[in-house]
Amino acid sequence: MNAPAAVLPFDGSAIPARPRRARAWGLGVGMLGWLGAACLLAGCAPLALNIAIVFLFAGPHNWMEFRYMLARMPAAWGRLRGFYALALGGTVVLAGAMIGLPYLARHRGWDYADWQFGAALWNVALLGWLAALAWQVWTRPLQRTALAASAAVLAMAAWQYPGAWALGLVYAHPLVALAFFAREIKRRRPEALRAYLAALALVPVALAFLWWRLGDAPDLRGADILSMRIALQSGAGLLPKVSSSFLVASHAFLELLHYGVWILAVPLLTLKASPLDVEAVPLAKKSRTWRWALSGSLLCGLLLVVGLWGGFLADYAVTRDLYFSIAIVHVLGEFPFLMRG
C-alpha cells in the first residue's frame, strides 16, 4: 500500500506548464484586442471617442483607482511614516496650488508671462516633491547621485519650457496605469509578463498608425468651446503645425488604454471579492471604526461617480472642465504608490 502524498499548500506552482503558458498568452491576446480596438476607434472618430470615454469612464476609473490604493496602503506606516506623510502632504499642497492658479490669475489679472512663471514654479515644486519621495526609496549612493542629476536637468527643462512640460504630463499620465498593471502581473502572474510587454511594444506602432491616418488630416472642424478645449488639452495650442485630429486621436487612444487598465484589467487580476468588500484591506483590520470609514468612503465615491454622470448630462463642457481641474489629485496620488512598489 502506497503512503499518502504529503498535502502541500497550493501556491500555483503545481499548475502544469502548458495551462500557465496558455493563460499568459491569453492575457497578451486580450491586451492586443483592447489596444487594437482603441486604436481603430480613435482613428475613426477621435473627437466623439474623447467625449464618450470621459463621460463613461472618468468617474468609475477614479473610483477603482481609489479602491486599489486603499488596498496598497499599509495599516501601520512604521519607518515609512515620513514617506507617506510627505506623499499625502505634497499631494494636497500641489493639487491645491494647481486648482487655485486660475483663480489667482483672474484675481491678479495675469498676462501670458505671469502664467508662464506660475506654471514653471509649479513644475519645479512637483519635481522637488518627487525627488524628495524618491530620495527615501532609493538609498544607494549611486542611485541618489543619478536622482539628483536627473532632477536638476528636468527642473531646468520644466522651468524653461513649462507648456511643453505640462503637455508631456498629459500624455505620460495614461502610461502610468500600464506600469501599475505590469507590476501586478509580475507579482501575481509572472509567466504572463513577457506576453504583456510584447503587447505593450505595439503601442508606438498604434500611434504610428494614427499618424499615418491623421497626420495630414484637417484640424478638427468643431468651432464650439468643447471641441476647442479638447483640442487644446491634447496640445493643439503648443503644436500648431500638427493636425489637431491626430493629437486628439492619440490622447483618446492612450486614455482608453488607461481607463481599461483601471476599470477592467487591474480589478480582474487583484480583486477576489466585490470592490465594496474591505475585509482584506490592511487599514480595515485596525478596528471596526476604520472598516466602517473605508466602506463609507467607497459608498460616497460611488455617489460622486453618479453625480459626475449627472453633471455631464446637465452641462458636459462645464463638468468636464471641473473634473479635469480636480483630477490632478489622482494624478499626483499615483506617484507615491508607484514608487513604493
Separation between Cα atoms, residue 108 and residue 24, nearest integer Å: 56
Separation between Cα atoms, residue 265 and residue 186, nearest integer Å: 14
User: For 144-193, what is each residue's pLDDT tens digit?
Assistant: 999 999 999 999 999 999 999 999 999 999 999 999 999 999 999 998 99
> Domain residues of the chain, as ranges?
23-73+80-340
Beta carbons within 10 angstroms of residue 257's beta carbon: 23
Please say if the pLDDT value at position 326 is more than 70: yes
What pLDDT shows up at residue 26?
77
Please say if the pLDDT value at position 323 is more than 80: yes
Please say if the pLDDT value at position 71 is more than 60: yes
What pLDDT shows up at residue 19?
61
What pLDDT shows up at residue 78?
86
Please give the model's pTM, rounded to 2 decimal places: 0.89
**Residue by residue, what is the 3-state secondary structure of the chain?**
CCCCCCCCCCCCCCCCHHHHHHHHHHHHHHHHHHHHHHHHHHHHCHHHHHHHHHHHHHHHHHHHHHHHHHHHCCCCCHHHHHHHHHHHHHHHHHHHHHHHHHHHHHHHCCCHHHHHHHHHHHHHHHHHHHHHHHHHHCCCHHHHHHHHHHHHHHHHHHHHCHHHHHHHHHHHHHHHHHHHHHHHHHHHCHHHHHHHHHHHCCHHHHHHHHHHHHCCCCCCCCCCHHHHHHHHHCCCCCCCCCCHHHHHHHHHHHHHHHHHHHHHHHHHHHCCCCCCCCCCCHHHHCCHHHHHHHHHHHHHHHHHHHHHHHHHHHCHHHHHHHHHHHCHHHHHHHHHHHHHC
Residue pair 225/201 in contact by the 8 Å Cβ criterion:
no
Please give the mean pLDDT across all residues of the chain.
90
Cβ partners under 8 Å of residue 113, min gap 6: none
Q: What band does 23 get if pLDDT is binned at 50, 70 and 90?
A: low
What pLDDT shows up at residue 10?
37
Q: What band does 8 get if pLDDT is binned at 50, 70 and 90?
A: very low
Q: What band does 220 get if pLDDT is binned at 50, 70 and 90?
A: confident
